[in-house]
Amino acid sequence: MFIKRLELINFRNYSNLNIEFINGFNILYGQNAQGKTNILEAINYLSLLKSHRSVKDKELIKWGKGKAYIKGVFQKNLGDFSVEVLISEESRKEAKLNGIKQNKASEVIGNANVVIFSPDDLRLVKEGPEVRRKFIDNELNQIKPKYQYYLSLYNKALFQRNNLLKSNFDKSLIDVYDQQLAEYGSYIVFHRIEFIKKLSIICRLFHRKITDGKEELVIRYKGDVYEEDINKIKEKLYLSYKNSIEEDLKKGYTSKGPQRDDLQIFLNGVDAKTFASQGQQRTAAISLKLSEIEIIKGERGEYPILLLDDVMSELDILRQKHLLDSLKGLQIILTITGIDDLGRLDFKNKKIFEVVDGRVQIKE
């Protein structure tokens, strides 16, 4: 899939923008704070109807204006389609698919498939487990429609169990929550294990390509329960809540369960979080995140559009080259601050745009 045209009116620092992309490498270059990321944000918004920068819709409207408009024309195997969104200060946002207004956001979300890699994703390896859980949950939300639902049920029951642990209520009620947590938790753990298995194969291959065969990336699910069968997971989870009740009462929170899950990452046999260099950690984060491309291809039958925000500057020239080589066949829109690095890279089928203060000029 690729985006052919993007139109923006009063979106972030753009008053009026109309650009055409090619189905190859599209390079947006410019100094800091000119509007490069804003363009990627707009494209990603057309896919998810929300910003990847976790901001409120209103913040996307150009300062001093009342409405922002984004339109994208996309092409997939089956033909062209368009997505339009009107974001307004006063009313709910309006979204159109092929010019027809849609009442349900779910009719619009996911038509355009986009994978965005932003500098924040570079934290995936070196930071705490929360970042990695969020990564897995986000991926699963995209491919398993019920996942988000079970996750919210689990979190609700967890919140209630934790409240009970801290209060003077009848502790026998805790068993009700243990059963609920085991029920919802087993769905979450089962899908996480299955997903990580799939991901581990893909990211290992991808990582070999970027590092020219020098590094072996291995990922593993780390949780309180590891079973293939969902009923076994449920039984074991239930037992682990039961067995930890004394400890939980002392601590005042639930100490076992998928809320503590993590993804272990090894590079050439050692723990990447503790031992890998900065560049190695970044490369591993890229391999993990970009494996999503293959997973989406497997689910949808077509490659997504890849948005790379400021990724190149973090890698040495060889890794940059291998990364770009392994991404052939996709539409890529990437941002960079310096044009110099590009000269050293061999892009075929490229279009270069210079971004200056909310305006875009075609360079090549």
Residues that bind ligand ATP (CB under 6 A): 12-13, 30, 32-38, 59, 61-63, 310, 337
> Given the rule CB under 5 A, which of 9-17, 33-41, 157-165, 214-222 is the region that contacts Mg ion?
33-41
Q: Does 34 bind Mg ion (CB under 5 A)?
A: no
Query: Among positive and negative, which fits the CA dihedral 5, 7, 12, 13?
Result: positive
Q: How far is the CB of 290 from Mg ion (least distance, A)?
A: 19
> Given the rule CB under 5 A, which of 29-37, 64-72, 179-187, 342-350 is the region that contacts Mg ion?
29-37
> Given the rule CB under 5 A, which of 3-11, 16-24, 30-38, 263-271 is the region that contacts Mg ion?
30-38
| 331 vs 335 by CB, closer to Mg ion | 335
| 94 vs 120 by CB, closer to Mg ion | 120
Cα dist from 143 to 195, 222, 293, whole Å? 10, 21, 12
Beta bridge partners of 263: 221
- DSSP letter string, 215-275: --EEEEEE-S---SSHHHHHHHHHHHHHHTHHHHHHHTS--SSGGG-EEEEEETTEEHHHH
Residue 103 binds which of ligand ATP, Mg ion, none (CB < 5-8 A, kind-dependent) = none
> Given the rule CB under 5 A, which of 32-40, 120-128, 196-204, 221-229 is the region that contacts Mg ion?
32-40
Distance CA 248, CA 15 (A): 55
Does residue 99 have a known ligand-binding role? no
Q: How far is the CB of 91 from ligand ATP (least distance, A)?
A: 18
Contact between 125 and 272 under an 8 Å Cβ cutoff? The reply is yes
- Cα separation of the two ends of the chain: 23
Does residue 37 have a known ligand-binding role? yes
Nearest to 5 by CA among 61, 113, 83, 68: 83
CA–CA–CA angle 321, 199, 319 (5° rounding): 15
Spatial CB neighbours of 16, under 8 Å, sequence gap ≥ 6: 8, 9
Spatial CB neighbours of 179, under 8 Å, sequence gap ≥ 6: 238
Q: Does 142 bind Mg ion (CB under 5 A)?
A: no
Residue 32 binds which of Mg ion, ligand ATP, none (CB < 5-8 A, kind-dependent) = ligand ATP
Distance CA 296, CA 185 (A): 25
Does residue 35 have a known ligand-binding role? yes
Distance CA 350, CA 352 (A): 7
Q: How far is the CB of 41 from ligand ATP (least distance, A)?
A: 7
Contact between 211 and 286 under an 8 Å Cβ cutoff? The reply is no
Lateral strand order in the sheet of 305-309: 114-117, 305-309, 332-336, 25-29, 350-356, 359-362
| 194 vs 314 by CB, closer to ligand ATP | 314
Nearest to 24 by CA among 333, 361, 362, 242: 333
Does residue 33 have a known ligand-binding role? yes
Residue 160 binds which of ligand ATP, Mg ion, none (CB < 5-8 A, kind-dependent) = none
Q: How far is the CB of 33 from ligand ATP (least distance, A)?
A: 3
Q: How far is the CB of 37 from Mg ion (least distance, A)?
A: 3
| 41 vs 137 by CB, closer to ligand ATP | 41
Residue number closest to Mg ion, CB atom: 37
Number of residues binding to Mg ion, judged by CB under 5 A: 1
Residue 337 binds which of ligand ATP, Mg ion, none (CB < 5-8 A, kind-dependent) = ligand ATP
The half-sphere exposure of 327 on its side-chain side, counting CA atoms within 13 A, is 33
Does residue 211 have a known ligand-binding role? no
Q: How far is the CB of 62 from ligand ATP (least distance, A)?
A: 4
Spatial CB neighbours of 247, under 8 Å, sequence gap ≥ 6: 255
Q: Does 186 bind Mg ion (CB under 5 A)?
A: no
Q: How far is the CB of 115 from ligand ATP (least distance, A)?
A: 18
Residue selected from 10, 26, 34, 37 as contacting Mg ion according to rule CB under 5 A: 37
Q: How far is the CB of 209 from Mg ion (least distance, A)?
A: 26
The annotated binding site is made up of 30-37
Chain positions contacting Mg ion, by CB under 5 A: 37
Q: What are the binding residues for ATP?
A: 30-37
